[in-house]
Structure 1
Amino acid sequence: MAENKPGGVQSVTRALDILEAIDGAGGELALIDIAAASGLPTPTIHRLVRTLVDRGYLRQLPDRRYALGSRLIPLGSTALTAFGSRSTPELRRLVSELGETANLATLDGDQVVYVGQVPSPHAMRMFTDLGRHVPAHCRATGKALLSQLPDEQIRTILRRTGMPAFTPRTITSPDELLTQLATVRERGWAVDEGELEEGVVCLAVPVPSSIASLAVSISGPAVRVDERVRARAVPLLTKVAADLAAQLDVASA
């Protein structure tokens, strides 16, 4: 449970403790488990949970467990979009150094959605509409994001979405993807080489933050994103990802 800060409103703090406890448990929790996770008295939890349900921030399931409510979805989307806009200076730094389009992405349900972008100055460049959803299994950003999840959760996502082949290079085997994700976790960065679009290379690094699941990437034509560019890109992406994580941590403090 978070400590109350001077000047804070106790009831607001406690409501947020409940939401964070449920989020930390994967999105669903029984009342007795909410009490254990939050450390709050049961009568207090009853009052707060009832209010959160009435406002749509929680919903009660048939088995009497509580789940995060739909009212949180637009708030989260708006917050991510706003953060995507604030990430522009960091993305511009990548474009200035590497000359390729820089992106910021997150997982929305089972798919990758782009929330920030600065395009390459080249006439031939990659461009993805902000808000566009793409499958996670065939994009470097998707691999970077999936690498932060347990393997069983990844398998569940892949069972729901399938692994359609977009090019001959697309990985269509869950086991093969999980093997690659183990490598991503070990080395700290992901790549897709023509797996969603032929002739396009994308490099991505997860943003090391517990506040939000994000990945930062660059993408460009394979003829330009050669080994020399890749060697420069990985440390730059890692630095930008760390800076973005620090921004998130400061904002949540």
Structure 2
Amino acid sequence: MATVGTAPVNPSAPPTPPAQRRASPAETHLPPVQAHSTTLIGSVQRAMRLLEAVAAREYGAPAKQLAREVGLALPTAYHLLRTLTHEGYLRREKGLFFLGEAAERLSGAAAQQKRRSMVNEALAQWRDSIGVPVYYAVYREGEIEVRSVADSPACPAVAEWADFRETAHAHAIGQCLLSQLDEEARRDHLDRYPVQPITPYTVRDEQTLLRRLEGLGRMEPVIERQEYALGTVCAAIPLTVGATAAAVAISLPCRQADRLLPAARRLQAEAGRLLGTHALSISI
């Protein structure tokens, strides 16, 4: 028997579907959510759209304009804009919103990643076309940094058996970078990392090294034979853009020493073309 105020239940009747929430006018502007996107977080998507809208406005934009462009209710837009401002992704000046320091750091990091990716792709391309392992290094804050190496089982790189930072005098990369420094910076480096032989072929003293560096022709490949690793010959090409000293280098086993200079010349030509198109930035 049914209770008072309750309709009788018919067991054979299909269940009544739950009431559907009516979308707000602002939500009708948003793109439809795909069936496979059930794990996406709508508030994050809306915040990203607000950031994109602000980034597109060089001279800033007020909350009402941003809400209208993104298709958000104004209270929702205000809430997201305040949160993004609090976290440093936006800043507000005289009622207008601009990108903040946190967003600019993200942009800078993304640009840096893109440059690094371009450098890695270039090195891999040169490795495959020339048939040698290719190295990329810079001199930054008083230290030699090998930033990227492109090698393969057929073209293995030289194993770093002695710290590259401490043995600049003994390898082509280090000599090439030292040759690009001014006298004060060069002597500072050698004071911290004195010349010492690590193979029977390594330059024996600082004065001999300095004379060698001073005798290098501008933009000439730096050649080194077994001074860092026995059984290996290397060549490095200077790359100087602004105040940054950089180099690309190759290595070969001694039995292929006759290939070294032609391969270095080819690398120099290809690197020059890439730098000439501004497709490669060395500031990574």
Pick the aligned partner of 2:233 from 193, 201, 220: 201
The counterpart of 1:175, out of the listed 207, 217, 220, is: 207
CA distance in 1, matches of 2:160, 2:192: 24
What residue is the counterpart of 1:150 in the other structure?
Answer: 182
Match of residue 195, structure 2, among 160, 163, 188: 163
Residue-by-residue CA offset, 1:76-118 (whole Å, 9 max, x unaligned): 9998786443212221232123211101011244442211111
How far apart are residue 241 of structure 1 and its match? Answer: 4.9
Structure 2 Cα separation of the partners of residues 227 and 111 of structure 1: 31
Larger Rg: 2
2:234 aligned with 1:234, yes or no? no
Is contact 1:100-1:121 (8 Å) kept? no
Distance across 1 between alignment mates of 2:109 and 2:189: 20
Are the aligned partners of 1:110 and 1:161 in contact in 2 as well (CA < 8 Å)? no
SS in 1 for 2:255: coil
Task: Give the superposition deviation at 1:190.
Answer: 0.7
- The TM-score normalised by the length of structure 2 is 0.52
- CA change 1:244–1:81 in 2 (3 A) is farther
Q: 1:181 to 1:96 in 2, by over 3 A?
A: same
Post-superposition offset of 1:195: 1.0
Shift in CA distance, 99/249, structure 1 to aligned 2, threshold 3 Å: closer
Distance verdict in 2 for CA 1:82–1:173, change over 3 Å: farther
Matches within 5 A, 1:1-253: 83-122=115-154, 125-127=157-159, 133-186=165-218, 188-210=220-242, 212-224=244-256, 226-241=257-272, 243-244=274-275, 246-247=278-279
CA distance in 1, matches of 2:266, 2:189: 30
Structure 1 residue 234, shift from structure 2 partner: 2.0
List per-residue Cα deviations over 1:112-156 (Å, max 9, x = no partner). 221111104417553559x96452111111111111112343122
State the identity as a percent: 24
- One-letter amino acid of the structure 2 residue matched with residue 157 of structure 1: H
RMSD: 3.6
Q: Distance in 1 between matches of 2:246 and 2:263?
A: 21
| C-alpha contact 2:137 2:173 (8 A) present in aligned 1 | yes
Please give the alpha-carbon distance, in whole angstroms, between the structure 2 residues aligned to 1:79 and 1:144. 27
Query: Could you report, residue by residue, the CA deviation over 1:188-222 in whole angstroms, capped at 9, with x for unpaired residues?
Result: 21122111111111111111311532110111211
Give structure 2 stretches of 5+ with no counterpart: 1-57, 60-107
Gapped runs of 5+ residues in structure 1?
1-6, 9-75
Change in 2 beyond 3 A, CA 1:84/1:132? farther
Cα 1:167–1:107 shift into 2, 3 Å:
same
Q: Which amino acid aligns with 2:215?
A: T
TM-score normalised per structure 1: 0.58
Could you say if the C-alpha distance between residues 232 and 169 of structure 1 is closer, same or farther in structure 2, counting changes exceeding 3 Å? same
Would the aligned equivalents of 2:235 and 2:260 in 1 still touch at CA under 8 Å? no
